[in-house]
Structure formats: C-alpha cells, structure tokens
Amino acid sequence: MLHDPIMSAQKIQVAVIGGGLVGLSTALCIIECLPQCSVTVISEEFSPNTTGDVAAGCLIPHVYPDTPLHQQKAWFKETFNYLFKIANSSEASEAGIYLISGWQIFKSAPKEVYPFWSETVLGFRIMDETELAKFQSYKFGQAFTTLKCQASQYLPWMEKRFKSKGGYVEKRKVIDVWDLHGTYDVVVNCSGLGSRDLFGDQSIYPVQGQVLEVNAPWIKHFIRDGDGSTYIYPGISYVTLGGTRKKDDWSCLPNAQTSKVILERCCHLEPSLYGAPVIQEKAGLRPTRSALRIVKDVLVKNGQQLPVIHNYGHGGGGFSIHWGTANEATKLLQQLIPFIHHFKLVSKL
Ligand SMILES: Cc1cc2nc3c(=O)[nH]c(=O)nc-3n(C[C@H](O)[C@H](O)[C@H](O)COP(=O)(O)OP(=O)(O)OC[C@H]3O[C@@H](n4cnc5c(N)ncnc54)[C@H](O)[C@@H]3O)c2cc1C
Ligand SMILES: O=C([O-])CC(=O)C(=O)O
C-alpha cells in the first residue's frame, strides 16, 4: 500500500523501529487496537535476517531476573492464548503456529517443580519413572504440550496482516532517532540490540546462540535439558537442535566445531539423531537485559519533544511473551495519545 499523506494527515503518525518479532507484533497490535494511528515499521532488516529467524520459536518462558514475575506470567498467558486461537484457526498453516508436546528433563529436581507457566501450557505433569527411563542420567522431568512458531512463516504472516490493515514498511537503518521528528508524532523502539547505539543503552548485550536444522521427520516430541544447554525441537520441515549461549559474542557466523558439539549433545539425548543430515547451521544474537524495557519516555532536544515507547530486551524468550509485551506497549501508546494531540495542536499555532 502506498503512503497517502493527505489521507493519513489527521492520524497520529507512529514509527516503529525494528521489523523483527517484537517490532512486527507491536506494529500489528497498535494498528489493530488504535485506529487513530497510522503505523510505519522502519527496519534495517526483515525476515529472513532477524533474530527470530534463527530461533526455535518454542513457547517455554525464560526468566528476566529484574522484571516482576507476575508481569512475565501475564505476558506469557496472553501470548499463549493468542497463538492458541491462531493454531486452532484456518490461518494456522500459513502462520506456522502449531501445538507441540514433549519433555523438559533435569539431572536433579529443580527448585520450582511447578514453574510459573505450568498452569498456562496444556496438560503439565511430572514425568513418571517409566518415561524418564528414556533419558539416562536424568532424574526428573516435566511433560507438557505447548506452542511453536515457525518464524519463516510467522514473521511474513504478521507483516502481510499488518499491511492489509493499512500499515507501511520501510527498509532502512535509522541513524539518529531525531531524524524521525517532524514526520512522526511518536516513535516505538523495538530495535533490540540496536538500542545500544540509537538510545545509548549500554545495559543491553548479545547472548549469541547457534542451532542446527536437521532432517529427522521421525522426531515428533521436543526434548529440552532444563538447564537450557541442549534442546531438540521438531518443526514443520526440519528439526532444530541447540544450543549455545555466549555472552557478549557479536558473531552471527556459525562455527563448525560448535555444530559438532551441539550434534553430539543432542545425539546423547536422542540417539536416533545419529547420521541425520544437517540442512543448515545458524547463529543469532539474543537481545538481552536483566529486565525487559517497556516504558514511555519523552526525549527533549533544543526545546523540541519526541515521545518514545520502548519495547526491547526479550533475550532468549521473545516468542514466549511477544504478544503480551506488544499489548503492553500499545497500552502505553494509548496513554500518550491525549498528550500527542495536545502537542500537535500547539505546534500548529
Ligand atoms: C538460537 C536462538 C534460539 C531461540 N529460541 C527461542 C525459543 O525457542 N523461544 C523463544 O521464546 N525465544 C527464542 N529465542 C529468542 C527470540 O528469537 C528473541 O527474543 C526475539 O527474536 C527478539 O526479537 P526482537 O524483534 O527484539 O529482535 P531482532 O529480531 O533482533 O529485531 C531487531 C530489529 O531491529 C532492527 N534495527 C536495529 N537497529 C536499527 C536501526 N538503527 N534502524 C533500523 N532498524 C534497526 C534490526 O534490523 C532488526 O530487524 C531464540 C533466540 C536465539 C538466538
Ligand atoms: O532455550 C530454549 O529452549 C530455546 C531458546 O529459547 C533459546 O535458545 O534461547
């Protein structure tokens, strides 16, 4: 859709920086909830070149140590319920959203036998000894059904849906956020690691992760070591094997030796993977902070103001909470609308 400046002149002009999982979901949520907004996603990269395109995309929450747990719980629940509806609709195959069952296993029982998300996933239960016998040297396990997003389908599906509702996309890097002032009334920052340079946030850092995609169509269950080191997630056309977590490593190039180690660890958990052909090796950077940053702010320079909503720092758990955080950012934008109207009026005088 072409941008019509006259049609959209009366609307609040929103620029979402970042076209990854968080940017697209936030832009979609805004356009669906706030019809008084005209929304443009501006991003240096889109799928297949975002962090989400590397990810397994499974809904098993990670814990953000400095974000209140009740918020994390609510965001996970909102995301799960939203995707569960899509998984049960005629959109499911195009969106790449499906249910998946499997096991999270531990060498000794974890502190939290029933994690905060156990009431949200389906059929959560503690594994019995007969099932655990599959995994030598593991003493405890949780069995449940959750959801999985195939990013190569889900990200383009969101973008298509966003455009069909009148949203715009632009592929470019934003060098200085003030370059958007004048054209846009408000900026929504979903730039992940880009927030370091754009907003000077030195507390966000990369945790590099490598995965392999292998051809093993007989694998129907996920298997995850509860310490997060090793996982096997069956997808639509391949199985994702992981993983690694290298703090402050900025390389997106997969390493052959690391791939060997991942394969060995996964074969130890699931011996039938021996000899499974490797389709692809990938590495990506989890945009990590001790707390998610979802806040509103007003930048001020030379007497001018630029309202900003931040939504970033999803680390290794973005898929698990993205719709909840998109809703949160949309609520913050809604609170800013009277201020933006007032500001538009004053600047016309
Ligand atoms: C190996 C691996 C496995 C994972 N597995 C899972 C999983 O199973 N479950 C789960 O919940 N999560 C998982 N994750 C985490 C999940 O992928 C991330 O949390 C999520 O993708 C982060 O999305 P994002 O949009 O914040 O970041 P990104 O995808 O990094 O998006 C940021 C966007 O901002 C753009 N940008 C940055 N700076 C600028 C600028 N100055 N101007 C314009 N554009 C800019 C970039 O081009 C990019 O498009 C995994 C991650 C990895 C690496
Ligand atoms: O830990 C997992 O199961 C997958 C994941 O989210 C990651 O690698 O960040």
- Give the model confidence (pLDDT) of 134-182 as tens digits: 998 999 999 999 999 999 999 999 999 999 999 999 999 999 999 999 9
pLDDT over 50 (residue 5): no
SS3 track for the chain? CCCCCCCCCCCEEEEEECCCHHHHHHHHHHHHHCCCEEEEEEECCCCCCCHHHCCCCECCCCCCCCCCHHHHHHHHHHHHHHHHHHHCCCCHHHHCEEEEEEEEEECCCCCCCCCCCCCCCEEEEECCHHHHCCCCCCCEEEEEEEEEECHHHHHHHHHHHHHHCCCEEEECCCCCHHHHECCECEEEECCHHHHHHHHCCCCCEEEEEEEEEECCCCCCCEEEECCCCCEEEECCCCEEEECCCEECCCCCCCCHHHHHHHHHHHHHHCHHHCCCCEEEEEEEEEEEEEEEEEEEEEEEECCEEEEEEEEEEEHHHHHHHHHHHHHHHHHHHHHHHHHHHHHHHHHHC
Instruction: Give me the residue label for tokens 């996920």.
Output: 222
CA 3 – ligand 2 centroid, Å = 38
| Pairing outcome for strands 140-149 and 304-314 | unpaired
CA of residue 88 to ligand 2 center, whole Å: 24
Contact 224 CB / ligand 2 (< 6 Å): yes
Band the pLDDT of 40: cuts 50, 70, 90.
Answer: very high
For ligand 2, the distance from its centroid to the CA atom of residue 90, given in whole angstroms, is 28
pLDDT at 341: 79
- Residue 46: pLDDT over 90: yes
**Cβ 115 under 6 angstroms from ligand 1:** no
Better-scored residue on pLDDT, 142 or 342:
142
69: left (phi over 0), alpha (psi -120 to 50) or beta: alpha
The residue to mutate among 21, 58, 207, 208, having the most atoms of ligand 2 within 8 angstroms of its beta carbon, is 58
pLDDT value, residue 117: 98
pLDDT of residue 337 exceeding 50, the answer is yes
Annotated binding site for D-dopa: 231, 286, 316
Per-residue pLDDT at 349 exceeds 70: no
Flag whether pLDDT at 317 surpasses 60: yes
Using the predicted structure, report yes or no on whether residue 345 has a pLDDT greater than 80.
no
Q: What is the pLDDT of residue 348?
A: 64
The answer, yes or no, to whether residue 6 has pLDDT greater than 90, is no
d(CA 198, CA 183): 18
Looking up tokens 């049960």, which residue turns up?
88
Question: Of the ranges 2-6, 117-121, 222-226, 317-321, which one carries the lowest mean pLDDT score?
Answer: 2-6
pTM exceeding 0.90:
yes
Check pLDDT > 50 for residue 87.
yes
User: What ipTM goes with this model?
Assistant: 0.99
Query: Going by C-beta distance under 8 Å and a sequence separation of 6 or more, which residues neighbour residue 76?
Result: 59, 61, 116, 117, 120, 320, 321, 324
Average pLDDT over residues 248-258: 97
Q: How far apart are CA 343 and CA 313, in angstroms?
A: 29
Residue 49, pLDDT > 90, answer yes
- Percent of residues, the chain, with pLDDT higher than 90: 93
Is a pLDDT exceeding 70 seen at residue 335?
A: yes
The amino acid that residue 241 corresponds to is L
Given a cut of 70, whether residue 232 has pLDDT beyond it is: yes
> What value does the mean pLDDT of the chain take?
95
By percentage, how much of the chain surpasses pLDDT 70? Answer: 96
Instruction: Sketch out the chain's domains with CATH numbers.
Output: 5-348 (3.40.50.720)
Q: Is residue 61 lining ligand 1, measured as CB closer than 6 Å?
A: no
Note whether 97 and 54 are within 8 A (CB). Answer: no
260 pLDDT exceeds 80? yes
Q: Is the pLDDT of residue 86 over 60?
A: yes
Q: What number is the average pLDDT over the span 316-341?
A: 95
Position 3 pLDDT exceeds 90: no
Give the pLDDT mean for 117-122: 98
pLDDT > 70? residue 9: no
* Residue 240 reports pLDDT greater than 50: yes
Report the C-alpha gap between 327 and 330 in whole angstroms. Answer: 5
Report how far ligand 2's centroid is from the alpha carbon of 228 (Å).
Answer: 7
What is the structure's pLDDT at 114? Answer: 97
Ligand 1 contact, 43 CB (< 6 A): yes
